[in-house]
């Protein structure tokens, strides 16, 4: 009999049979794991199975290759704290979907678990949007696709970094980018060395940056491509920015 216990984050829950669900978890010690939960449609479990919730998980199976059975106890309800904010909820769903579809099963990712857990708290703050973009950059690094935004790839002035090379993921300064800036990705203000404050438009620039590398580096060989939840986040941000722009103009 194989068994483990660990605090975990709900990444996804898919109905299976009349009253069960296959649940995908990210645990600190055991990485992404899946298991079957009986009674998933009960009142207690419906609230527990919201993506982003932190649970105390117990997994057991006859052998390590089996799907296994889960018992879960809710430890912290992330979803209930941001349920009234559709944009934050979209970010939560996008982050969990990225982890669910990008991470190989049963490989430890302690740094990623700690980072996702920190993001869940950041989502309850006012600076959550910039924090989300930074989390996606950390996810890329954890998966072996680190961006280098610390200095100019062409040896120019690192105080004027404005773009990122889509080929190398390295930052480029204003002067060095002049000849081919139309082929580069804009670098948002809050990721530049001086770290200026930024609004919704700059966050969209950051989401466009990380989406490019997620699509072309992480999910390029995945059959389903970038998770639909991540596409929805882009659309929700664009809608909110458009409404904000209209209010400012009126």
CB 206 within 8 A of CB 195: no
CATH number for the domain that contains residue 196: 1.20.1440.120
Which of 53, 77, 101 represents a domain boundary (last residue)? Answer: 77
Residues 87-97: tens digit of each pLDDT: 999 999 999 99
- In this prediction, residues 46-73 reach a mean pLDDT of 92
| Sequence-separated (6 or more) residues with CB below 8 Å from residue 77 | 47, 50, 53
Reported as a pLDDT band with limits 50, 70 and 90, residue 30 is very high
At 80, list the tokens: 């209930």
- What is the tally of structural domains in the chain? 2
Q: pLDDT tens digits, residue range 74-85? A: 999 999 999 999
SS3 148: strand
187 and 225 together in one domain = yes
CB-CB neighbours of 94 under 10 Å? 24
Same domain, 115 and 204: yes
Examine the pLDDT at 250 and tell me if it is beyond 60.
Answer: no
What CATH number is given to the structural domain containing 20?
Answer: 2.40.50.140
107 and 49 belong to one structural domain: no
Domain stops at, among 18, 51, 77: 77
Which residues on adjacent β-strands are paired with residue 27? 8, 31
Q: How far apart are CA 238 and CA 128, in angstroms?
A: 16
pLDDT by residue (tens digit) across 123-142?
A: 999 889 999 999 999 999 99
Q: Give me the domain span that covers residue 95.
A: 86-249
- On whether the CB atoms of residues 73 and 55 are closer than 8 A, the answer is yes
| Model confidence band, residue 248 (pLDDT cutoffs 50, 70, 90) | low
Given a cut of 90, is residue 17 above it in pLDDT?
A: no
């Amino acid at each position: 009999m194989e068994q483990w216990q660990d605090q975990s984050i709900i990444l996804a829950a898919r109905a299976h049979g009349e009253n069960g669900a296959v649940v995908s978890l990210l645990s600190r010690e055991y990485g992404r794991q899946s298991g079957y939960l009986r009674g998933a449609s009960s009142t207690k479990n419906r609230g527990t199975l919201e993506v982003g919730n932190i649970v105390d998980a117990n997994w057991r199976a006859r052998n390590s290759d089996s799907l296994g059975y889960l018992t879960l106890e809710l430890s912290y309800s992330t979803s209930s704290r941001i349920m009234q904010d559709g944009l934050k909820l979209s970010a939560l769903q996008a982050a969990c979907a990225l982890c669910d579809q990008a991470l190989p099963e049963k490989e430890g990712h302690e740094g990623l678990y700690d980072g996702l857990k920190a993001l869940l708290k950041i989502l309850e703050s006012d600076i959550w949007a910039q924090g989300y973009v930074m989390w996606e950059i950390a996810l890329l690094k954890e998966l072996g696709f680190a961006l280098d935004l610390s200095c100019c790839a062409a040896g120019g002035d690192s105080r004027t970094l404005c773009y990122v090379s889509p080929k190398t993921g390295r930052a480029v300064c204003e002067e060095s980018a002049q000849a081919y800036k139309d082929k580069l990705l804009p670098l948002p203000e809050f990721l530049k060395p001086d770290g200026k404050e930024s609004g919704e438009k700059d966050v969209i620039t950051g989401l466009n940056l990380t989406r490019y590398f997620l699509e072309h580096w992480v999910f390029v060989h995945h059959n389903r491509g970038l998770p639909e939840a991540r596409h929805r986040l882009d659309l929700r941000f664009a809608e909110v920015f458009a409404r904000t722009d209209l209010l400012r103009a009126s």
